[in-house]
Structure 1
Amino acid sequence: MTPNLLVAWAILVSMHVVGLAMLLALYRLLRGPTVPDRILALDTLFVATIAEVMLFGMHRDTPVYFEAALIIAMLGFVGTVVLSKYILRRDIVE
């Protein structure tokens, strides 16, 4: 087995595992008993999405997906902060 083929298989297996993690995070997002559980599940879903996009970029061997992952990371951070602030104070803008 050549090293390139081994890396390709490892990326594909990792993509499936991250996809499973995304499904589990989506389940917790929909069935979470409390609002903080749902916020944490949404943040986990953002992280798993970033990992999936990065792995897909490695699989396709293009740098475009890395920039998309950076944008998703920034939006995920801002979204988590805004939701957490809303839950704590019931107001987004001070």
Structure 2
Amino acid sequence: WDMKNVVEKVRAFGSNRVMACERGASFGYNTLVTDFRGLSIMKDECACPVVFDATHSVQQPGGQGSKSGGQRQFAPLLARAAVS
């Protein structure tokens, strides 16, 4: 799992105060998606607290031409899904 390597690298430099963050991954053009399996995988593999950035996960990079857009109406729904 990719985040396991990131967390191990941070710990190797002397920090034990680490959190992993799920915030969505690029899917196609101007869309981020969240694979909620990642929350459980990161918790198990990284042995650190895992947080979810609902507002970042609804961002649409470049979605408004010269700036990022988003679908903020879905942030509360995704936040509830992450908690469950």
Please state which band the TM-score falls in when normalised by the shorter chain: 0.3 to 0.5
Q: Which has the higher helix share?
A: 1
